[in-house]
Structure 1
Amino acid sequence: MTLNLITKYQPSLNSSRGLNNYKLSSNENPLGTSKLIRRQLQINHVKLERYFNNISNKLVTNIANIYNLNKKQIVLGNGSDELLSLLCSAYLREGDEVIISEHGFLLYKTQVLVTHAVPVIIKDLNNKIDINNIVRSINIRTKMIFITIPTNPTGLFLTIREINQLSILLMPTNILLVLDMAYSEYVEDDRYSIKINTNISIVKTLSKIYGLASLRLGWMYSRKSITTLIEKIKSPFSINKIAQIAGPIAITDSQQYNLSRGFNMFWLVKIIVNLRKANFIISKSYANFVVIKFNKRVPILLIENYITSCNVNIRRMSEYKLFNNIRISVGSPSANIKLINHLKKLNKQRFVLVTHKTEEYTKQYWKC
């Protein structure tokens, strides 16, 4: 059965609970939610007992104005996850193939399998999506290609030239190119831009730089035939009232946006530079997280246990086929400094594999 191939989502490692617990596992905005939103969300004035208008026209209009898009081709969703799921439900049939990169977002594979379509996993090149591998995997059964830019967890992106090259190649086909741009607002690079063609659907979220992760609010832009179909099968009340109030404020709060962007760039560089000086293997990242690779001789579980014992939550990467790697989000200044200092201490630790033999058994364990 196809559904048996789906594995349950595993949350990040949890350190001991306490006042000084630092969560660096979910790529959240450490600056939190905009002050403008907190002032506006006076719960006493919101009639929670009433059903609400299922389309936030104000948010759709704001998105259209900011990104210069046709508002009739914008669909809102309960986070970007719902929109990706709806795309699969509307576009895929049993036996169809969907191309996904080997280090792509885990939910892609799950959503494809639910529709009884076939996920085709392609190899990345130096932790970056390889256009050539995508092209080589295309056949008559290919219906969709998922691309995350920048990618989670590696934090790299395809340039505007590469995306346009792939989009033009797909023009004669009916293959839909889905661009998951959850972390796009963090990218500061002139090569990062998207020219939206008829065979491209972009999906974005307000969970990351806008700090609305718990409200679950995302949006999609695609050709009218697709958005019309999505609106037909979408739940009429998937976006809650609080999200509808907060969304338009968040996306137009340029002061909070620029503050979050600048904060992230400063600490992203600081984390990478400090840990590289301490001889850690870290690639450049264009998002709000970095992936750290460790010496293969030392079990990653030992490293994870050490970090979580320091009250820092991280994300293990084995499920992304990045073995002996962890992902850490940019956190608050105190969390970032704590992480850097503890990793530097870890790098100076000498781990020894001890073998204890008796007549009955042989036991091995690592010791500092």
Structure 2
Amino acid sequence: MTLNLITKYHSSSIGSKVLAIHKLSSNENPLGTSKLIRKRLQINHIKLERYSNNIYKKLIQNIAITYNLNKKQIVLGNGSDEFLSLLCFAYLKEGDEVIISEHGFLLYKTQVLAAHAIPVIIKDTNNKIDINNIIRSINTKTKMIFITMPTNPAGLFLTSREINQLSALLKPTNILLVLDMAYSEYVKDDRYSIKITTNIVIIKTLSKIYGLASLRLGWMYSRPDLIKSIEKIKSPFNVNRIAQIAGRVVLSDSKQRRLSRSFNVFWLIKLIIYLRKANFIIDRSYANFIVIKLDKKVPILLIENYIAKCNVNVRRMSEYKLFNSIRASVGLPHENVKLINQFKRLKKQKFILVTHKTEKCTTQYWKN
């Protein structure tokens, strides 16, 4: 059965049982959502018993204005994740192939398998999506290509030149190039720009820089016929009223968006510099998290638990095929300092593998 091939997606787990935990494992916005939400989202005045088509249309209009897009080519979703399943359901049939990078978002593979299609996993180069490997994997069965821009967990992106090259190659085909741009607002680089063509699908979320993770609000932009197909099969009221109202508010708050980006850039650079000085291997990241490469001799779960001792929750990346690696989100200043200091202590910490032999068995465990 196809379901037997699917691994359940697990959100980040809390490594420490202490209640006061600093959660740097889910790439959330540490500054929270816009203060305007507190002022304008008066729950007592919201008619929760009514459906909200008017707000839905107004939110689409706001997105179109903010990103300079055609409102007729935008559809809202229950987070950006919903579009993964909708696209697979609408566009794939049994035996079709979908190209996914080896460190790509775990739900890509899940939704492709659920549609009875075949995920084709390509190798990355130095943790970055390799466009040449994508091209080599394309055949007559290929129907979609999922690309994260920038990637999670590596935090890197394909340049506009690479995306344009790939898009031009796909133009004579019916292959969709799906760009998952959840972290796009954090990127400040001239090479990061998308020329939208008919075979490109853009998926975005308001969970990250806009700080609305718990409200699950995303949107998709594509050519009109594909948008109409998605609108046919999606739930008619898939985005709740509170999320729609909040979405309109945060899109209007450009000041908070700029603050979140500048805060993230400052602390991202600071984290990388300080941890590199402590001799950790860390690549450049264009998102709101970093990946820290660790010593292969010590089990990564042991490291994760050691970091959790200072009440900082991070996430190991084994499920993303990045072994002996930890991902840490940018947090508030005191959380970032805690993270840096705990990693510095980790460098001085000795972990010993203890072997205990008895007549019946031999057991091993680590201690520090």
Same fold by TM-score greater than 0.5: yes
Which residue number in structure 2 is paired with residue 230 of structure 1? 230
CA distance in 1, matches of 2:149, 2:191: 12
- Determine the structure 2 residue equivalent to 1:164: 164
SS at match of 2:147: strand
Cross-structure match for 2:342: 342
Give 1:239's aligned residue. 239
Are residues 1:140 and 2:121 paired? Answer: no
Alpha-carbon spacing, 1:270–1:223, altered in 2? closer, same or farther (3 Å): same
- Contact 2:41–2:245 (8 Å) recurs in 1: yes
For residues 49 and 67 of structure 1, what CA distance do their matches in structure 2 show?
31
Tell me which moved more, 310-319 or 45-54: 45-54
1:155 equivalent in alignment to 2:155: yes
For the residues of structure 2 that align with 1:232 and 1:223, how far apart are their CA atoms? Answer: 15
Paired residue type of 1:256: Q
Matches within 5 A, 1:13-28: 13-18=13-18, 20-28=20-28
Alpha-carbon distance between aligned partners in 1 of 2:249 and 2:58, rounded to the nearest angstrom: 10
Structure 1, unmatched stretches of 5+, are: none
Counterparts of 1:360 and 1:129, CA distance in 2 = 49
- Give the aligned residue type for 2:166: L
TM-superposed deviation, 1:133: 0.3
Are the aligned partners of 2:16 and 2:313 in contact in 1 as well (CA < 8 Å)?
A: no
**C-alpha offsets along residues 334-354 of structure 1, whole Å, 9 cap, x if unaligned?**
111111101100111122222
Quote the Cα distance in structure 2 between the aligned partners of 1:333 and 1:286: 19
- RMSD of the TM alignment (CA)? 1.1
- SS of 1:363's equivalent? strand
C-alpha displacement of 1:329? 0.4
For residues 128 and 15 of structure 2, the distance between their equivalents in structure 1, rounded to whole angstroms, comes to: 31
**SS of aligned partner of 1:143:** strand
Q: Return the alpha-carbon distance in structure 1 between the equivalents of residues 237 and 3 of structure 2.
A: 27
> What does 1:114-125 align with in structure 2 at a 5 Å threshold?
114-125=114-125
Matched, 1:332 2:332: yes
Answer yes or no: is 1:314 the counterpart of 2:304.
no
Report which stretch shifted further, 32-41 or 160-169: 32-41
Report the residue type matching 1:288 in the other structure: N
The structure-2 alpha-carbon separation of the partners of 1:6 and 1:54, relative to structure 1 and needing over 3 Å to count, comes to: farther
Moved over 4 A (4+): none
* TM, length-normalised to structure 2: 0.98
Structure 2 residue runs of 5 or longer lacking an equivalent are: none
Residue 214 of structure 1 and its aligned partner are, at CA, apart by: 0.5
1:111-149 CA deviation, whole Å, 9 max, x = no partner? Answer: 111110000000000000000000000000000000001
Corresponding letter in the other structure for 2:86: L
CA distance in 2, matches of 1:310, 1:100: 36
Shift, 1:282, TM fit: 0.6
- Residues 226-267 of structure 1: CA deviation (Å, up to 9, x unaligned): 000000001011100001111111112110000000000000
Alpha-carbon contact 2:55-2:245 (below 8 Å) kept: no
**1:17 CA displacement:** 4.7
The TM-score with structure 1 as length reference comes to 0.98
**1:179 match:** 179
Cα offset for 1:19?
Answer: 5.2
Partner Cα distance (1:8, 1:139) in 2: 29
Paired residue total: 368
Within 5 Å, which residues of 2 pair with 1:70-81? 70-81=70-81
Contact kept, 8 Å, 2:354 with 2:366, in 1: the verdict is yes
Kindly tell me: are residues 199 and 225 of structure 1, through their superposed partners in 2, closer, same or farther at Cα, counting changes over 3 Å?
A: same
Residues of 2 paired with 1:19 and 1:352: CA distance? 29
Match of 2:277 in 1: 277
Query: 1:37: how far off?
Result: 1.2
Output the amino acid matched with 1:213: A
Say if 2:315 is the partner of 1:295: no
1:190: Cα distance to partner?
0.7
Per the alignment, residue 131 of structure 1 pairs with 131
Alignment of 1:48 with 2:48, yes or no, is: yes
Q: Choose 142-151 or 1-10, whichever is displaced more.
A: 1-10
Q: Secondary structure at the match of 2:53?
A: coil
Distance (Å, rounded) in 2 between the aligned partners of 1:310 and 1:18:
9
* 2-structure distance, mates of 1:121, 1:208: 26
Contact 2:16–2:305 under 8 Å retained in 1? no
Matches within 5 A, 1:55-74: 56-74=56-74
